[in-house]
Structure 1
Amino acid sequence: MPPDCSIRGVGAVAERMRDLLAAGQPAEIDCANIEAADITFVQLVVSARCSFAARGLRLTIEGASAAVVSAFARTSVSLA
């Protein structure tokens, strides 16, 4: 994932999620290098997880940075 996963950079993240979903396989997203994340990123991940689940696939987050952990905590959404 790019360092900026806030509303400013979420377009690239959405494109990456679409590519992963189109591959038709379970996916892991590495979030270790994310420096900025907000509710936009959280919403995108939740939506992507639903899309993956609808196809019987898993989307998991690996190496969540402090910014990602904080964004999920602020929205009371589980990283798991």
Structure 2
Amino acid sequence: MIKTRLKYCVYDPDPNGNDRYYVRKPGHRKIRIRETFEDSDGRITPAFMKAYFEALEAIEGKASAPPTLPREKTFYWLVDK
């Protein structure tokens, strides 16, 4: 994986050489961004930036959710008691 100009954004081409970009924070799964990264002038496209920020929000939302309690009468529930 190659780092890009954006924090948590990595470039990971597939075996056929197609470009693939992901948002990946340590300890979280990576989320693929399917938008075009750069336009013909070499600037990051607005569609990519929108998808990038949505992916970051999705990662942050998952991390801030409270842990779920185990269902009653399961092994984990018994260990919790």
Same fold (TM over 0.5): no
Higher relative helix content: 1
Q: Give the number of the structure whose alpha-carbon radius of gyration is greater.
A: 2
Higher relative contact order (CA 8 A, sep 6+): 1
